A and B are shown apart, each in its own frame.
Chain A
């Protein structure tokens, strides 16, 4: 493919030259209703005009002067107010073939699936509908378009429905957690009490998850105090003092990101609890979370620091600043928001991970603010234990706790978006 294309016209890399099928169709042919947005095209006389399909590639910026009308038509209507056709959105033909196939396939599948064939179940219905829709959409498009366009439309529909399904999965998971947790969340005591002395069968207006929230906060707090300086320090070392040792640190850190979180928990369980005889405490859980989080935080901080433009660092050094001054006054302020985003995402990961705390913290039912003594509970662990208990009311509490956990992660996430939007001046 020869690429002798003028690149200076590349103003909008995303909306690059929309490909549009501009079809000039005789009136009365399917798909073009009189008075459509095609303006003068629909005013073509009823005289037989050969159906003609043209494919044009039109630049996004320039208004198209599309002159497919014959001179006779122009003579018929002395003055047509010309307005540039909207080339970015779908034509009526596109929309009708899409919605028509949608409705047509829905009706066809409904009749066949529920009325004629002995099938039932909504999941199966949607799957059948999707396949019939694709076939029908391909057929309708093929009536007025070349085969390449048919493939384009069908693949677009498939890709879009794939993305839609992912979106549906995400929203269904979030909504499902809140809906199932609603019963527990409406009770104020759910947020202000612990589960001390509450039996699993007790009604929801007794007991709460305060101990789990506090436990999660303490554990993640200790983990952050340990991993943040180590992670960022190691990342700065890898970037500022490159050499064989820095490469060794980077290799090990990247390798340890492959450590499954359950193995991190098992490591702390074996060393701290079995070999050293430490109790199952919040501190042990915090250590397990740290082991899991340290490579994640060091690696993401390293990635953020590595993509920082080298010119800034060099300019500072060339002005005579020392390395420490450069890092403190140029490097860190420049990458601050990126660094914060990476760190908070690491924290969100640490808060939500169940497997390290499952092995190390034990599970108290009462409030415990001392991480060095007695077991401690945390949100993911509480969710896991309550769901496994099988008690209906306890499961409702578990969903309530899961909703609280989700809100926590959402808040952290929105905070990162807020930070990411704050651009530091260059």
Chain B
């Protein structure tokens, strides 16, 4: 080869030019690039426009109400008093109740499916969790309102009677009355939280299970070979490995729980109090506020509702971004096996 080149050079000293490789990319590729780029731009513009629109619509509200929009608790359009502090508190109350119920259940479902379940039913259980995620939220709303609420008020009453000295189990009524006021325990953030928990649970369980199943097999075997029990193996290998998945999955479900609408609208009765008594009747969430008030809203109030929606969107966005960061960081750990 080299000899050949040498002889070439010696005979005809032509300045070497790189061969032209034909058209850089065929026409079909140019069309393909153009079309997908156009779609990409369209999606970017549509999605970006929604975010920008929400942000712009919020400016007049912030100018008009200032920080009072975040500190005022009442939503009384007829008196021009608008504020979302009570609504935000209610949103977080419902979401936290939902998490308090969904987290242990999702964690044990994920551990059960990835560690304890017999191998042959494992894929069936995985698709059951997926199915649960596909069940429409209105179904969970009906389930919570008609099936769970009559039972949940007894649990709420029991908690109030026996653990009422803890502030969060406080309800503004006498628990020991001969005929206790059932309606004081109904339509509460607690009942709504149960329904919302069922909606966000499958998402958390799916993320956790996926991370658990990636725990390095070598370390599992090592733990078992050293005489660990199955739970000992899970506690020392799987759970530390999946910590990111547990936190990330929980935060993702928190983001979803904050935006849940229909189940909350069906169950709670609106109340604009600054309180953290989830067992007591009445609460309000941002999404339920929008669903309930959009119809009668004037232009300004509609802007205020959009602002409330924007605030909810920003909170959800922050939570989701943090969750995605935590999940992806824990996934990269799989490579260091």
Chain A residues packing against B (C-beta within 8 Å) = 1-3, 5, 7, 9-10, 13-17, 19, 55, 57, 121, 123-124, 148-149, 151-152, 155-156, 158-163, 165-167, 169-170, 172-174, 176-177, 180, 229-231, 233-234, 236-238, 240-241, 245-246, 248-249, 252-264, 266-267, 269-271, 274, 291, 294-295, 298, 322-325, 327, 345, 348-349, 351-355, 358-359, 380, 383-384, 387-388, 398-399, 402, 405-406, 409-410, 412-413, 417
A16 close to B220 (CB less than 8 A): yes
Give every chain A residue within 8 A of B107 (Cβ-Cβ): 162
For chain B, the count of residues having a C-beta within 8 Å of the partner chain is: 107
Tell me, yes or no, whether B316 is within 8 Å of chain A by CB: yes
A156 close to B116 (CB less than 8 A): yes
A166 close to B201 (CB less than 8 A): yes
A172 close to B217 (CB less than 8 A): no
Chain B residues packing against A (C-beta within 8 Å) = 25-26, 28-29, 31-33, 35-37, 39-40, 42-44, 46-48, 50-51, 53-54, 57, 104-109, 111-113, 115-117, 119, 122, 125, 127-132, 134-140, 142-143, 145-147, 151, 154-155, 158, 198, 201, 205, 217-233, 236, 255, 258-262, 266, 286-287, 290-291, 294, 299, 302, 305-306, 309-310, 312-313, 316-317, 319-321, 324
A253 close to B131 (CB less than 8 A): no
B134 close to A148 (CB less than 8 A): no
Q: Give Cα A158–Cα B231 distance, bound, in whole angstroms.
A: 11
A324 close to B224 (CB less than 8 A): no
A262 close to B261 (CB less than 8 A): yes
Known: A124-B158, A169-B198, A383-B138. Contact between A294 and B225, CB under 8 A?
A: no
Give every chain A residue within 8 A of B104 (Cβ-Cβ): 162
Give every chain B residue within 8 A of A123 (Cβ-Cβ): 151, 154-155
A324 close to B28 (CB less than 8 A): yes
A413 close to B221 (CB less than 8 A): no
Chain B proximity of A283: nearest CB distance (Å): 16
Q: Give Cα A16–Cα B218 distance, bound, in whole angstroms.
A: 10
Which of A149, A234, A409 has a CB less than 8 Å from the CB of B136? A409
B109 close to A162 (CB less than 8 A): yes
Interface centre among B107, B122, B220 (most CB of A within 10 A): B220
Chain B proximity of A250: nearest CB distance (Å): 10
B39 close to A170 (CB less than 8 A): no
Give every chain B residue within 8 A of A267 (Cβ-Cβ): 50, 53-54, 306, 309
Q: Give Cα A200–Cα B104 distance, bound, in whole angstroms.
A: 42
Ordered by A's residue number, 9 sampled pairs between the chains whose C-beta atoms are within 8 Å are: A10-B221, A152-B232, A254-B324, A260-B259, A262-B287, A262-B309, A263-B290, A266-B290, A354-B137
B136 close to A406 (CB less than 8 A): yes
A165: nearest residue on chain B (CB-CB)?
A: B105
B28 close to A233 (CB less than 8 A): no
Which of B33, B36, B108 has a CB less than 8 Å from the CB of A162? B108
B259: nearest residue on chain A (CB-CB)?
A: A260
Given contact pairs A259-B316, A270-B302, enumerate 17 new A-B contacts (beta carbons under 8 Å): A14-B119, A16-B224, A19-B228, A124-B155, A159-B108, A160-B108, A176-B147, A254-B324, A257-B320, A260-B313, A262-B261, A266-B309, A351-B136, A352-B139, A354-B136, A358-B291, A387-B145
B305 close to A249 (CB less than 8 A): no
Give every chain B residue within 8 A of A257 (Cβ-Cβ): 320
B39 close to A234 (CB less than 8 A): yes
Which of B117, B119, B127, B313 has a CB less than 8 Å from the CB of A263? B313
Chain A proximity of B92: nearest CB distance (Å): 14
Q: Give Cα A159–Cα B212 distance, bound, in whole angstroms.
A: 15
Give every chain B residue within 8 A of A159 (Cβ-Cβ): 108, 111-112, 115-116
B40 close to A237 (CB less than 8 A): yes
Give every chain B residue within 8 A of A349 (Cβ-Cβ): 134
Give every chain B residue within 8 A of A166 (Cβ-Cβ): 105-106, 109, 129, 132, 201, 205
Give every chain B residue within 8 A of A249 (Cβ-Cβ): 40, 43-44
Give every chain B residue within 8 A of A245 (Cβ-Cβ): 37, 40
Give every chain B residue within 8 A of A17 (Cβ-Cβ): 221, 224-225
Q: Give Cα A9–Cα B117 distance, bound, in whole angstroms.
A: 22
B110: nearest residue on chain A (CB-CB)?
A: A163
Known: A5-B225, A10-B217, A152-B232. Contact between A323 and B33, CB under 8 A?
A: yes
A410: nearest residue on chain B (CB-CB)?
A: B131
Give every chain A residue within 8 A of B319 (Cβ-Cβ): 258
B139 close to A233 (CB less than 8 A): no
Give every chain A residue within 8 A of B286 (Cβ-Cβ): 260
A349: nearest residue on chain B (CB-CB)?
A: B134
